[in-house]
Amino acid sequence: QITLKESGPTLVKPTQTLTLTCSFSGFSLSTRGVGVGWIRQPPVKALEWLGIIYWDDDKRYSPSLKSRLTITKDTSKNQVVLIMTNMDPVDSGTYYCAHRVGLAVFDYWGQGTLVTVSS
């Protein structure tokens, strides 16, 4: 059974760096073809793809956010970390991590974690 859970601060100040951790079970990020993605959703708005990390440590980022994002993995801990720099109030929202199967398909999602950016 695949499960994922996001964790991290609920409140960050503008210009600060956000670090979120996705802890997962039921699969290994060292298995060929596996990936974990990050998706966010501002309040009452649409989903936005942020990026993904693959089993071979290949990473892809949203072109519009690429300069601010870093995704890393710790295979031994079954964790993926999202780092987003220079946070702004418009970055407030729910951040999800999800298990990738096949190209552009997320079949299991975490419950999401709400991040508010405010001074």
Partner 1 sequence: QSALTQPASVSGSPGQSITISCTGTSSDVGGYNHVSWYQQRPGEAPKLMIYEVSDRPSGVSSRFSGSTSGNTASLTISGLQAEDEADYYCSSYSSSSTLVFGGGTKLTVL
Based on the shown chain and the rule CB under 8 A, indicate whether residue 90 belongs to the binding site for partner 1. Answer: no
* Nearer CB in complex with partner 1: 69/81: 69
Based on the shown chain and the rule CB under 8 A, indicate whether residue 114 belongs to the binding site for partner 1. Answer: no
The phi-psi region of residue 77 (left if phi > 0; otherwise alpha if psi is between -120 and 50; otherwise beta) is alpha
Q: Among candidates 18, 57, 19, 9, which has minimal Cα distance to 36?
A: 57
Based on the shown chain and the rule CB under 8 A, indicate whether residue 107 belongs to the binding site for partner 1. Answer: yes
Report the b/e string of 50-69 with b at 16+ CB within 10 A: bbbbbbeeebebbeebeebb
Binding mask 24-63 for partner 1 (x = CB under 8 A): -------------x-x-----xxxxx--x-------xxxx
* Nearer CB in complex with partner 1: 16/101: 101
Any idea what the Cα angle at residue 114 is, between residues 52 and 61, rounded to 5°?
20
* Nearer CB in complex with partner 1: 35/87: 35
Binding-site ranges for partner 1 (CB under 8 A) = 37, 39, 45-49, 52, 60-64, 96, 102-107, 109-112
